[in-house]
Amino acid sequence: MMQQFMLQSTEATEAFGARLFQSLPEKCVVFLKGDLGSGKTTLVRGFMRAAGHGGTVKSPTYNIVEEYQLNQRLFFHFDLYRLNDPEELEWIGIADYLQEQSICFFEWPEKGAGYIGSADVILSLSTQGNERLLEIEKMPQAIELNLLNSEK
C-alpha cells in the first residue's frame, strides 16, 4: 500500500528527511523522484542534518555526486539531471559507490537506468500549491514501520 504525506513547508520536508535518517539501515539505495523544485534536495538536507552534517547541503547537479562522511558512516547524494547518457556513470565509478557500506540518494534515477540497479526505497515528491505531496512508492515494511513510529 502506498503511503502519502502532505508536507506543508520546507521545514516539514526536512523533518521527514530527519525521520528517514532514524529509519534507514547503514546500506541502502534511495531513489528520489520529482520535478525540479519538488523538494528532493530539501529532504536530503534534513537527512544529512540529522546525521550530524552542519554545512551546506546542495544539489550536486554539476558534479553529479556529493560525498559525506559523518560519524564513521558514508553517504552519497547523486543528482543525475545533467547526465546525457547513463554510461557516464561507469566513468565516475558507479559500481564502486554502490558497493560501499553507504546510503546512496539518487535524484533523477531514471537517467541512470541500467547502471544503478534497483532501489531499496523509492520516494516521489510533487508540489501541490505551497505544499508538497510525498509518496512512498517502495519501502521495506520494517523501514516503513520504523519511519511511521518515529513520526509519533
Domains of the chain: 3-150 (3.40.50.300)
To the nearest whole percent, how much of the chain has pLDDT over 70?
A: 94
Separation of alpha carbons 41 and 95, rounded Å: 23
pTM reported for the whole predicted model? 0.90
CB 11 within 8 A of CB 39: no
Q: What's the rounded mean pLDDT across residues 133-151?
A: 77
Classify residue 105 by burial, with Cβ atoms within 10 Å: 0-12, 13-18, 19+.
buried
Separation of alpha carbons 65 and 78, rounded Å: 4
CA-nearest of 74, 83, 124, 84 to 104 is 74
Grid cell of 71 as nine digits: 560519524
Q: What's the rounded mean pLDDT across residues 136-145?
A: 78
Separation of alpha carbons 64 and 74, rounded Å: 16
The pLDDT, as a whole number, for residue 1 is 56
The pLDDT, as a whole number, for residue 67 is 92
101-140 pLDDT, tens digit each: 999 999 999 999 999 989 999 999 999 888 999 998 888 7
When the pLDDT of each residue in the chain is averaged and rounded to a whole number, the result is 89
Strands 121-128 and 28-33: parallel
